Structure 1
Amino acid sequence: MDFTYTETQTMIRDTLSRFLSDSYDFDSRQKMIASEAGRDSGIWRALATELGMLSAPFAEAHGGLGGSHIENALIMEELGKVIAIEPYLQTVVIGGGALKTVGGAVADAVIPGIIGGDTIIAFAYAEPQGRYDLANIRTTAKADGGGYVLSGHKGVVYCAPWATHLLVTARTGGGQRERQGVELFLIDANLPGIVRRDYPTVDGNRASEIYFENVAIPGDALLPGGIDLIEKIVDEATVAVCAEATGVMAKLHEGTLDYSKQRQQFGQPIARFQVLQHRMVDIFMEVEQAKSMTTYAMLHLDKPAAERMAAVSQAKAKVSRGAKFAGQNAVQTHGGIGITQELAIGHYFKRATMIEGQFGSADFHYDRFERLAID
């Protein structure tokens, strides 16, 4: 298949790559993580206003560039190369993806804020008992007059400390694991009754445990589409994470290859040892296969649900295994220094490890693909 990028897509990738190489080196990232805020808000603002990156996948009617999943994947891969802590996945891919799907007044009102860098969305969907089951939800949204009362607990909500809005899954009816009754709400992150416990994650990001204590939300906070909409945006997010993984894995390969050429053993660089040459090739092959499978899944995101889900599961299973292989072999080649705070390779390993299970482990996606094939 001849898959080439357009001139605009190539420009987006190259422009972002140059910007990140200048402003997102390893030392700068470490300073951001160590700061009280956990980020440099100026970078997000620059991505929005100076580079226009946040507008890439949105329609021209909303002030966007008219792009699609391809632009999201290109941007996520570049962010992966610097293990960026920007909330692009949560805000643009997930939040923006949901709004593009439902359209209407809510999309017209919120998308311009995303493009301008003023709106940051956190996706509050995971619950302690839920594992990867999107329908295993205890959080409830009970009808109250013209609105709802939201109650429950969401765990590991990435970028919630910075969010202006929360995209929340909650149950309006049905039993705990039933698909019927699961809905998606977009709410103000500062409503009375929302309690957050913020903390750093192992990969350098910030997340929160969020408790909804009888939070009154308006009726128009409900985004139509139910569990089908939730599955769609999670599949889109999964492919975006796969694209990020290709950037992370590429840097793991690059850093390990460079180190093997520098480290001396028995009077020669260890890169001359045949077993390590094979290892470098194996990591490289995992990177290339991850890119191919990510592209395959990306091209299936607008297909019917079963076809989309099967393609996404194939890609995520492969990428999860590949990220694990690349990360572990990179650290093993470096030895003990590979997991120190001072060396970048250890931080890439941490992000690769988190990606391995994000939105479903390899085993989960093998199982989902098998169920889809049987059905």
Structure 2
Amino acid sequence: MFTPSRLTLARERRQFTKKALAEAVGLSAHTVLRYESGEIEPTSDAVERLAATLEFPRQFFFEPDIDQLPEGAASFRSMSAISAKERDAALAAGTLAYMLSDWVDARFDLPKADLIDLDGDTPEVAARSLREKWGLGEKPVRNMIQLLESKGIRIFSMAENTMTVDAFSAWRSERAYVFLNTMKSAERSRFDAAHELGHLVLHKHGGPKGRDAEDEADRFAASFLMPAADVEATLPRVHGLNQIIEGKKRWGVSVMALIVRLHRVGAISDWQYRTFSIQATERGYRKQEPFGMQREFSVVWQKVLTALWSERTTKDEVARELHIPTAELENLLFGLAAARGDQLEMSIKPPLRLVSD
């Protein structure tokens, strides 16, 4: 049987409106609407044209319903900048990630979520509490992606050709997911990961919405990445922007993020904050980081892929089992499946192993 929800998913992933898709395949918009509502089933010829236009395998549309990522379950950084098409395409990618995640869960033991519900705490208190639970003390976080993965958070990348979708996160039952835009700088991606971590622990059961929720997540991220005591001890007095440029290397953050943090903890005055912000903007640091750090990679997905390769299972074969384009699988793991050997030395507890072992 044809599955209407899968047609909607593929259409939204490709950013087609019903009308645009109908025109592309030579149908009426009303016919596509009836396909998606389940009122009628497309002919074999129509399915072929839909599959070719949407670039999804034909069999994709005949598999069971998918556990979809609803809009309300995801937290987007900038709803004012993102278009409905971009939002729906990102959510569709999240749904495909659910499919891949379930496929992997059936074959591997991955770390379970080790998070705490900090709803009601201030972002600063929540950041300190989570650092204490994870035994991080005041030291800088060496690798955000690997830290989150070791705590059972599923990290996926989004190879979206847009700068308006920063990142988003969601809870699905007791599994936590974070999706990162790989177009961002390494420093911005680290902050995005910490920002989404803030949503996961502060807003699991709702709470503030819109700008208030985003501000809380920003404050959490700043406190988590740049603990006040460490910032004050490292940069007790700041006399120039070059000090900040050098200091940002310690915490792996952007120049602007450190300027904001220094101002919040009282290390620089209002006048210094305005001055340093203007200087950073004039030097182009809002778009390109000085002394940019190397992008972080995923240990979990690298180990999963390595284990699959050892069994002669390729990404193409995984995609065929899921009935999705290989490109979509690569998009979810883009930039995360090419970690250097020294990054693979980090141990993951419990260790990654095949379920059948």
Q: For the superposition of Structure 1 and Structure 2, which TM-score range results when normalised by the shorter chain?
A: under 0.3
TM-score, normalization by structure 1: 0.26
Larger fraction in strand: 1
Kindly name which structure, 1 or 2, has the bigger radius of gyration based on alpha carbons: 2
